[in-house]
Amino acid sequence: MNAPLIDPFARAIRYLRVSVTDRCDFRCVYCMAEHMTFLPKADLLTLEELDRLCTTFVDLGVEKLRITGGEPLVRKGIMTFFRAMSRHLDTGALKELTVTTNGSQLARFATELADCGVRRINVSLDTLDPAKFERITRWGRLPQVLDGIDAARRAGLRVKINTVALKGVNDDELFTLTDWCAREGHDLTFIEVMPMGDLGGEDRLDQYWSLKDLRDQLAQRFTLTDLAERTGGPARYVSVEETGQKIGFITPMTHNFCESCNRVRLTCTGELYMCLGQEDVADLRAPLRASSDDAVLTEAIRAAIARKPKGHDFDYSRQKVAGQMSRHMSHTGG
């Protein structure tokens, strides 16, 4: 019943990313259309249902839980869910509870997140230029995010900055962002833009900035040493000799990370995506609601993991976006 989850390629599933809402207070150009149609609130799993689903995954060997959105901290009552999940940290069944956020609500919730056992967070931040920040996020304000990051640090949370590499947008800030993170004591991870969703005129090829090129630019100024470290996610890391900081690269396009993939993604409606870059999906809401017997839900989860593919099909070669996903990034939480 509680045997670990092993996919067809002998990878143990230890990492669950959970999107608790598709809503967000930003409209980032690589993530959402400006005028989004969000799900009716009645379609979303309740916080109690999310608790039951996540608990079932923890019982099946998931050790890392990352809460995402949309923007997870805009969901009403979300701290109730974090407090509930903290019990799995207390038992030792869950090794890490963490969150990916745009930072807009951190000033409100950082202390409470720390009290729930969250020790580190990822904050999406693509620029330190206020005007550019408004253009990228459409609705966001940079000072609010920087205040949130400061609040997180005061609460004792380790902050990692996630920056989507956008050609012609933030490629001129490579060293500005790197130097700022070094000064502030934040780790930094660069992410290649992925072909997901119709963004209302935003061209993926125009946005795409290869992290191979980005790393080559960094290496012209810094001494980079590859690290064997893995955090359970897709990033590959280097240490920067001159600053002592750690920089990560998530490269689904130039070098996919599928061979070591140990994660699946649960949406706020109970859909389980076994791969970010494939359309195959399993409905867990139906078995969740069909029976109070967790054996039914467990069977559905195992059947879904048995369909996990070897890898994704993202490809920017031949100057077209191949393997493009029709859903928005916000649907599965990245």
Q: Per the annotation, does 70 bind a ligand?
A: yes
How many Å apart are CA 147 and CA 134, to the nearest integer? 16
Q: Is 268 annotated as a binding residue?
A: no
**Would you say 327 is a known binding-site residue?**
no
Q: Which amino acid is at 58?
A: V
Q: Is 244 annotated as a binding residue?
A: no
- What are the residues facing 159 on neighbouring strands? 121
In the sheet where 120-124 sits, what is the strand order? 224-226, 236-240, 246-250, 187-192, 158-165, 120-124, 96-101, 64-68, 15-19, 263-266, 271-273, 281-283
Q: Is 116 annotated as a binding residue?
A: no
Say whether 258 counts as a known binding-site residue: yes
From the number of C-beta atoms within 10 Å of its C-beta (0-12, 13-18, 19+), residue 287 rates as buried
263 annotated to bind ligand: yes
Q: Which helix (H) or strand (E) holds 159?
A: strand 158-165
The alpha carbon of residue 137 and the mean position of all alpha carbons in its chain are separated, in whole angstroms, by 17
The CA-to-CA distance between both ends of the chain, in Å, stands at: 30
According to the annotation, is 154 in a ligand binding site? no
Q: Fill in the DSSP letter of residue 71.
A: S
Q: Are strands 246-250 and 187-192 parallel, antiparallel or unpaired?
A: parallel
Q: Please report the DSSP string for 105-119 in residue order.
A: THHHHHHHHHHTT--
Q: Cβ of 6: how many Cβ atoms within 10 Å?
A: 15
Closest CA to 301 of 58, 22, 9, 51: 58
Q: Are 204 and 225 in contact (CB under 8 A)?
A: no
* C-alpha to C-alpha distance for 93 and 85, rounded to whole angstroms: 11
66 is in an annotated binding site: yes
Q: Annotation-wise, does 291 bind a ligand?
A: no
Q: What is the DSSP string of 4-19?
A: PPB-TTS-B--EEEEE
| Residue 28 among known ligand-binding residues | yes
Is 108 flagged in the annotation as binding?
A: no
Task: Give the annotated binding-site residues for [4Fe-4S] cluster.
Answer: 24, 28, 31, 258, 261, 275
Task: Give the annotated binding-site residues for GTP.
Answer: 17, 66, 100, 160, 263-265
Task: Give the annotated binding-site residues.
Answer: 17, 24, 28, 30-31, 66, 70, 100, 124, 160, 194, 258, 261, 263-265, 275
Task: Give the annotated binding-site residues for S-adenosyl-L-methionine.
Answer: 30, 70, 124, 194
